[in-house]
A and B are shown apart, each in its own frame.
Chain A
């Protein structure tokens, strides 16, 4: 079956540091890839997505590139802020239509001032 592996953390960084959260996947077919973010006490918000190889998703200074050869979708940001503290989930959908998301376990990110 499909699976997503990501570093669990917590990952603690200082403000303005460079962020990388690794995500690798196994899937049948050609999945679409997503990053979601969950702030304390809230549901999940879509951060960015990519639907085919070499696509780069970007939003709010975050970026991730769909790498089919390494089955990866690493999340990066050049300069993090305290407000970026949250839990980040990598996820995929293998089929189209009404397929459910397969999630990684989530990475807790803590940014210190």
Chain B
């Protein structure tokens, strides 16, 4: 595997289900990100992890719970979602060095539908 991978690619879940999205990066980066892409809205940053510590939570509802067990893996645990949470969830990774900007590399995304 190369780059950033995400599983599953498609997920349909009911409002009472619990599911998890998985992201893995094979680039040796030390920062990982979750973004949400909804129809007709700009891409929104959800969470940022740097060196496995959460450094940003962009006012995301608690029904979304991130986990970063190591620098290569990132999860997004989902529970009691709402239909408006249906979207494409994108994972990204980058190098992170204070004061230096590196480009972020994205995975293919998980298309989530909440019924």
Residues of A within 8 A of B (CB): 4, 32, 34, 36, 41-46, 49, 51, 89, 91, 93, 95-106
19 additional A-B residue pairs with CB within 8 Å, beyond A89-B43, A97-B50, A104-B42: A34-B103, A43-B90, A43-B107, A46-B103, A51-B101, A91-B43, A95-B101, A96-B99, A97-B97, A98-B31, A98-B48, A98-B49, A98-B56, A98-B96, A100-B33, A100-B56, A100-B58, A105-B41, A105-B42
Known contacts A45-B106, A46-B105; A103 and B96 CB within 8 A of each other: no
Residues of B within 8 A of A (CB): 4, 6, 31, 33, 35, 40-43, 45, 48-50, 55-56, 58, 90, 92, 94, 96-101, 103-109
Known contacts A42-B108, A43-B109, A44-B106; A98 and B55 CB within 8 A of each other: yes
Of B31, B42, B105, which is in contact with the most chain A CB atoms at under 10 Å from its CB?
A: B42
Chain B interface, >50% SS class: strand
Q: Which residues of B contact A44 (CB under 8 A)?
A: 90, 92, 106
